[in-house]
Structure formats: structure tokens, C-alpha cells
Amino acid sequence: MANRDNIGNSFASSKKEKTNRNNHVIFIICIFIAAFFWILIKLSDVYTDIYTFGISYVNPPDNQHLTTLVDSVVKISINATGFEMLKLNLRSDSRRFNIDLSQCDINNRSNNEYFINTSTIKDKIADDLGIATEKIDISLQKLAFKMEKLSKKEVGIYNNTELKFAPQFDLYSPITIKPDKIIIYGPKDIIDTIDYIFTEKKVFDNINKDIDENLRLVNPLADKLHLSVHSTNIQAGVEKFTESSLEIPIDLSNTKYNLKAFPPTVKVFFTVALRDFSDIRKNQFKVLPNVEGIDVLKANKLQLKIGKSPKAARTIRLQPAEIEFLILK
């Protein structure tokens, strides 16, 4: 009987402890729910706060150089919800603005001092902040800075690329660069030392088709020089080539002597683009003995030279490269 009472008491005690634990859990959950709704209410409220932002200017006019930031910081009053404020505070880049001068109306105040009206960039600032324009108020009406005029000079563009062709492929037409010249702006003592602006270094491997590529131009002194353009385009035709040869009679008409050549013909080896192969003819070649500065009466042999060849034929070589001869009376 005593055992039954003990079991009953233990069961009742366990049930009570379980009920207490459940009550504690429910209480904690209620606290979290209440806190959550309290935070939502607070974040939905509207607050006003003043933030200080740094100012950077980019892309000044090509013929001018930014020298001094008169207004390098600006205070902005923001009237927004707690959600918007929280989002703003979590942004790591939210305390600095880059003002693109190429997109602004620049006003000249005096000499080298210029300014932009903040009313013209208010929409852009609000957009960067992710806040409606009517919710911000900029402390300054104008942002001032100083610029000085730069000298200018036209220079060439140097193609700093390396071409590596697939087997049997080569350039069919010369490389063209557009533009091949640019205007550089900078202090006169610096631009006077510059004649070329280099393209980026680039290696083209296993080329087997036409080249058409935009290349970045390298500014050697980005803090002092401005470039009128920042890239150029290179183009070139590429074709597959093959080697061929023709037996060509040696033309002896360029000497005053009546000569007989041994051998009377020469083998002309050349490379030609496959597209031009069928256009090559024997009569497009002329091979002559080189008698310039040579006393034919004392010579035993004469070197051969190409007197005429088709434009499509490249890397021409002769076999043999010289001939023996007899002077006939």
C-alpha cells in the first residue's frame, strides 16, 4: 500500500514539474513575441538623424586636373523609418559619395575654383542611399573644388600585343588600330616626354581566325594624365598558308653580255594563302642574275635575285641561289 502511495506522489510531482517547465517555455516565447512586435513597431517609426559623408570627385573634364577639395565632407539630414536607418547603418560603403563630374553641370566661381549645385545631385545621392529624395536634406547648397587647366598633345598608340599563330596560319592583312592616335592632357613638362601610349600587354595564342579585339590603353601616370579615350580596337585578317614552288627560267636580259646560265632554270619556293593559290602564275615571277657592282668577266658565279613576284607570294627563296655561266661570243 505504501508503494502505491509513493508511486502516486512521484507521478504527481513529475506532472507538476512538467507543467512548470511548460509554463516557463510559454512565458519565454511570449516575451520573444512581445519583443519582436515591439522592435517592429519601433522600426516602423520615423526618425530624423544627421549623417556626415565624405566626398570624392571622379572623371573631371579631360583638359582639367582636380587639385583641391574645398568641400570634402557634407552633412545630410535623413528623415526615414527605423528599417531604412538600420539598412543605411549596415552598409559598409554608405559614408562616402563618388561624384561623377562628367555627369554634372560644373560652374566656374573664379579663376580655378568651381562648384556644383547639390540640388542637381540630390536624386543621385538619395538613390545611392536607398532613400526617397524628399526624405533627405543636404546641409550645403554648393560643393566647391579647384581644378587647373592642362596642356594637351596628340600621340600615337603602340600595339603591345604578341601574336602566336596556329600551324600554317599567318596574317593576311596588316594589323589596323582604330583609333591609332589619342589626345593626352597633363602638365606640359610631362606630356612633352611622351610620344606613345601603350595598349595593355596581351598574348593571342593559336590564332586561326581574323582578329577583332578591344584593348585597354595604359595610362602611365594616372594621377597626372588624362586620356581622351581609354581603349582602342585592333583588327587583322588571318588566313591559312601553304608552300608551293614553280620552275622559272632565268632572265639574263639585265646584262650587256650574251650569257648562258647553268642551270637555265631555278626553282622558286614561296608561301601563299590558300584563297590566292589558284591565282599564282609562272609569268608573274622574274629571276635575274645580280650583276650590280660585279665584273662579269672576272666572276665564276652570279647570285640570283627576284626581279618580279606576285603580291600574294611570301617568304620567297631560290634553289639554287646562284648560277654558273658562260659568256658567248
pLDDT 10s digits, 244-300: 999 999 999 888 888 899 999 999 999 999 999 999 999 999 999 999 888 888 898
Of 96, 120, 149, the last residue of a domain is 149
DSSP code of residue 292: T
Whole-angstrom distance, CA of residue 51 vs CA of residue 121: 17
Range of the domain at 206: 151-236
- At which residue does the C-alpha cell 597626372 appear? 224
Query: Mean pLDDT across the chain, nearest whole number?
Result: 86
Does 6 fall in a domain?
Answer: no
Closest CA to 272 of 245, 243, 239: 243
Tell me the average pLDDT across 298-312: 94
Contact assessment for residue 322 and residue 303, using Cβ atoms and an 8 Å cutoff: yes
Is 137 found in the same domain as 157? no
Q: Under DSSP, is residue 275 helix (H, G, I), strand (E, B) or coil?
A: helix
**What cell does 154 get?**
596628340
Q: What residues contact 184, with CB distance under 8 A and at least 6 apart?
A: 152, 153, 154, 155, 191, 194, 197, 225, 226, 227, 228
C-alpha grid cell, residue 227 = 586620356
Is the domain of 259 the same as that of 216?
A: no
| Average pLDDT of span 5-26 | 58
DSSP secondary structure letter of residue 218: P
Q: Do the Cβ atoms of 175 and 217 come closer than 8 Å? A: no
Please indicate, yes or no, whether the overall pTM of this predicted structure exceeds 0.75: no
In a domain, 55, yes or no: yes
Residue 198 is predicted with a pLDDT of 98
Mean pLDDT is lowest, of 71-75, 263-267, 318-322, for: 71-75
- Residue 31: CB partners within 8 Å, gap ≥ 6? none
**Alpha helix segments (H runs only) across the chain:** 2-44, 82-90, 122-129, 188-191
Structurally, how many domains does the chain consist of? 3
DSSP state of 221: T
H helix runs in 110-200, sequence order: 122-129, 188-191
In the numeric block, which cell numbers belong to residue 35? 519583443
Residue 132: DSSP 8-state: -
The answer for residues whose C-beta is within 8 angstroms of residue 180's C-beta and 6 or more apart is 156, 157, 232
Judge if 248 and 161 occupy the same domain. no
Q: Helix 82-90 vs helix 2-44: angle between axes, to the nearest 10 degrees? A: 90
Q: pLDDT per residue over 140-173, tens digit each? A: 899 999 988 889 999 999 999 999 999 999 999 9
Provide the pLDDT for residue 36: 62
d(CA 200, CA 277): 36
Which residue bears the cell 654558273? 324
CATH number at 277 reads: 2.170.120.30
Q: Of 149, 184, 210, which residue is a domain's last?
A: 149
226 in a structural domain:
yes
Residue type, 243: E
Q: 301 forms bridges with which residues in the sheet? A: 324
Q: Is residue 225 part of a domain?
A: yes
9 found inside a domain: no
What span, in angstroms and rounded, lies between the C-alpha atoms of 88 and 131?
Answer: 9
pLDDT band at 78 (very low <50, low <70, confident <90, very high): confident
Among residues 110, 99, 6, the alpha carbon closest in space to that of 53 is found at 99
Quick check: 21 pLDDT over 70? no
The verdict on residue 1 lying in a domain is: no
